[in-house]
Amino acid sequence: MERLRSSPLHANISTALDKHLESIHVVQARRKDEIVSASSRQRHGPPRCQDERVVLALAAALQALCLATRKVRTVLWCAFQMTLPK
């Protein structure tokens, strides 16, 4: 979009994209933690408290990703509107 406009876009656009990417990485890390926790639970028995913390951390990461996705969709729509010819 910057190439179409021949000028840089607003700094908030790149910030929102960076936060969205960061949220994706956090969700991926929490999901890996959940998988490791589930596989170790099958071997050693059920430590329930730790499993609940892992799932709650994943839920919080997904909530943050949802908010970041909403913001980045709005920001990309605005950026698209700015690149359209007048």
Residue-range domain boundaries for the chain: 10-83
User: What's residue 73's pLDDT?
Assistant: 97
Structure tokens at 72: 């980045």
d(CA 43, CA 84): 57
Phi/psi at 45 (5° precision):
105, 175
pLDDT for residue 8 is more than 60:
yes
- Mean pLDDT, rounded, for 66-75: 97
Closest CA to 51 of 63, 37, 62: 37
Tell me what the pLDDT averaged over the chain comes to: 86
CA distance to 12, 17, 50, per residue, from 67 (Å): 15, 12, 26
